[in-house]
Amino acid sequence: MQKLNDKQQRWVAAGLLISIITLIAATIFIPWYGAINKTMEDIDDLVFRIKRYERVISSRDQVLSAIEQGRTDIHALGYLYTQETFPLAAAELQKRLKEIVNNAGGELSSTQVLPQKEENGLVSIAVKVKVVGNMEMLRSLLYEIDIEKPLMSIEHIRIVPSSKRFGRKRLSADKSGTVTITLDVVGYMMKETL
């Protein structure tokens, strides 16, 4: 192997020194540069989110106004009970059912308020009623419940023929035309009014 003179040894030493410095700088600079880039991307993402949130916040008044207008429109339609509490709304539903049954020509034998249920921002007001009447009364009753405002819906219905006693004989429902109807009638009110 050939010996290097002093000048060549200096150049080799300088080259080794530069390559070691470059290697050390690369091991420090590349991760540091990557961390800076990631931090800059995170900052850009946060700035974008802040601008989006500012747009949402600036449109808050419009959204609240639209929600209030929607509530006003819903109440104007008259589909929901507007009483302040569940018991008041249940009493109103019972009163309306009694009027409907009387107008249809039936006899209301019992009413029972069922527990309230909450779903999708509405509270259901359910009443179980037992009515005695004939099939014509039933037709009229169902029609009146269907067109009633605030809205009423029938969740369960059970129709049983009634029998009347005349002396020692029983007259069947076919001859008397009387039936006993058990209905679960439901109305709705807004949850916020509770």
Query: Same domain, yes or no, for 54 and 107?
Result: no
List, for residues 94-138, the tens digit of each pLDDT value. Answer: 999 999 999 999 999 999 999 988 888 889 999 999 999 998 999
The confidence band for 164, taking pLDDT boundaries of 50, 70 and 90, is: low
Quick check: 172 pLDDT over 80?
no
The answer to whether position 63 is within a domain reads no
Query: Same domain, yes or no, for 94 and 182?
Result: yes
Query: Same domain, yes or no, for 98 and 179?
Result: yes
* Structure tokens belonging to residue 116: 């309230």
The answer to whether position 71 is within a domain reads no
Please give the pLDDT value at position 192.
Answer: 65
Query: Same domain, yes or no, for 106 and 44?
Result: no
Query: Same domain, yes or no, for 102 and 186?
Result: yes
The answer to whether position 68 is within a domain reads no
Please give the pLDDT value at position 84.
Answer: 85
The confidence band for 194, taking pLDDT boundaries of 50, 70 and 90, is: very low
The answer to whether position 100 is within a domain reads yes
Q: What is the tally of structural domains in the chain?
A: 2
List, for residues 33-81, the tens digit of each pLDDT value. Answer: 889 999 999 999 999 999 999 988 888 888 889 888 887 887 778 888 8
Question: For the domain that residue 186 is a member of, what is the CATH number?
Answer: 3.30.70.60
Query: Same domain, yes or no, for 94 and 134?
Result: yes
Angle at 77 between CA 71 and CA 79, to 5 degrees: 90
Query: Same domain, yes or no, for 91 and 42?
Result: no
Query: Same domain, yes or no, for 30 and 110?
Result: no
Percent of the chain residues topping a pLDDT of 70: 91
Query: Same domain, yes or no, for 39 and 118?
Result: no
The answer to whether position 44 is within a domain reads yes
Q: For residue 36, what are the domain limits?
A: 6-58
Instruction: Note whether 161 and 173 are within 8 A (CB).
Output: yes
> Which one is predicted more confidently, 123 or 192?
123
Quick check: 171 pLDDT over 50?
no
Query: Same domain, yes or no, for 25 and 106?
Result: no
- The Cα–Cα gap between 143 and 137 comes to 10
Sheet with 153-161, strands from edge to edge, namely 107-119, 122-134, 178-190, 153-161
Q: Which residues lie closer than 8 Å to 58 by C-beta, 6 or more apart?
A: none
Instruction: Note whether 190 and 80 are within 8 A (CB).
Output: yes
Query: Same domain, yes or no, for 174 and 85?
Result: yes
The answer to whether position 171 is within a domain reads yes
The answer to whether position 162 is within a domain reads yes
Query: Same domain, yes or no, for 99 and 159?
Result: yes
The answer to whether position 65 is within a domain reads no
| Mean pLDDT of the residues in the chain | 86
